[in-house]
Amino acid sequence: MPSGRHSITHPTIDTSTSLMHLINQPGCIRYAQQVRYQDMAAWQACIKQLAKKPAIISAQTIYQLHEQLEQVLKQHALLLHIGDCAEGFADATEAITQKKSQHFIQMKNLLAQGSLMPVVLIARIAGQYVKPRSQIWEMCAGEYLPVYRGDMINAHQANKQARQPDPQRLLLGYQCAKRIWEDLEHISAPLFISHECSVLEYETALTRSVNGLYYNLSTHYPWLGVRTLHSNWHHRYLSLIQNPIAFKINADSDVQRLLMHIRQCNPLNLPGRISLITRMGRAISHKLPIVLQAIKENKLSVIWVSDPMHANTQLDHCGLKYRLLADIFQEISESVRIHKAHNSHLAGLHLETSYEEGLEECIDDKKQLKRTRYYKSLLDPRLNQGQSLQVIKYFIHCLSE
């Protein structure tokens, strides 16, 4: 189990006022991207049921990830964080889990062989069922509907009933995540699982005390996206758990508030505790040096990861999202160049990928923007199998220059 060297301690925090009371009193706070349910009593009952469910992962595996991330920070290993934009409940089968894990391991092995370094593999799997959204409504076939927010919240089908948040989906999400993790263990897939930390009541219901320390036992590596980056309640929660965590930052992220969040969640400046995932698109040449300098001046220990996808998303004439491979390559090369210029270390990539070949969600050229292009993602465009390997090879090339 974790030693004191790895423990996040907050001697000034009164644990009676910590977020753990959400387990028994769901709905007592308000936070960014919070879901509103019509039947609050049913929602509260679901949260209380979750709190009684067995953990999905063990605290010991979280400690193992901590140890491996320390090696990443020391530049003895690379980090590869990959998987679906949003998982679907229908994919929680052993056959699909095996296909996904084979794809992840293929990418890991390619990066390890090309870089001559070990690779820590973290997958967006077994819980990536919630997606924060910029808007709460969208127009579908001439009708305004609540946006799809991930299978744990509502259904993807474009009708009012399907889009209504359903608290039973929280329990379904738990069951699917647990089944996938058990399948991954059964096939001995050498990876850790991760999801975006969004629904705090779900996270806290699956947070348990082990030897007096709190662990989120639904996932190894929770992260905050840009829409919750400055949510005080999310940071307060993350500051109380032992899991390694990550923050996504974009061109609009407030650097001073970012520094405050890092100190709040890692007051002892422990190595490997926090990763910063940059997603900046064309603003990277201006913004990344500012953030690098601020982190360096404040002597904060962070792992740097590049997400070359999320800031490079566009809409076609039908309103369907796409990403150009050229833009993804450009952000990778700029990230590597800027880190080298500032004597910093870019430790890895964060990618949305699929094991399927032939997908046309990410494209080489705008000429591929046709109504019939092969698009299966529930939300954002993913790299298909071949494109995923192309991106890994390009990252290796950039690191070696």
Outline where 74-214 has alpha helix (H): 94-115, 160-163, 168-186, 200-205
pLDDT tens digits, one per residue of 317-360:
888 999 999 999 999 999 999 999 999 999 999 999 999 999 99
- The closest alpha carbon to 75, from 320, 261, 344, belongs to 344
SS3 call for 142: coil
- Structural domain for 333, as ranges: 59-130+187-400
Burial (Cβ within 10 Å: 0-12, 13-18, ≥19) of residue 290: exposed
Res 7 pLDDT > 70: no
How many percent of the chain have pLDDT more than 90?
83
Name which of 33-37, 104-108, 129-133, 155-159 the model is least confident about: 33-37
* Residues sharing a CB contact under 8 Å with residue 113, sequence separation 6 or more, in sequence order: none
16 occurs within a structural domain: no
pTM for the full predicted model: 0.94
pLDDT digits (tens, 9 = 90+) for 248-281: 999 999 999 999 999 999 999 999 999 999 999 9
Whether 14 shows a pLDDT value over 50: the answer reads no
Indicate the pLDDT class of residue 27, thresholds 50, 70 and 90: low
What does the CA dihedral 227, 232, 233, 237 come to, rounded to 10 degrees? 100
Local confidence band at 23 (pLDDT 50, 70, 90 cut-offs) = very low
**Crossing angle of helices 40-50/168-186, nearest 10°?**
30
Tens of pLDDT, residue by residue over 353-379, are 999 999 999 999 998 888 789 999 999
Count of domains observed in the chain: 1
For residue 81, pLDDT over 70 is answered with yes
Domain contains 268: yes
Residue 117 domain-assigned (yes or no)? yes
CATH number of the CATH domain containing 73: 3.20.20.70
Query: Is 158 inside a domain boundary?
Result: no
Average per-residue pLDDT for the chain: 92
C-alpha separations of 192 from 239, 374, 400 in Å: 21, 29, 27
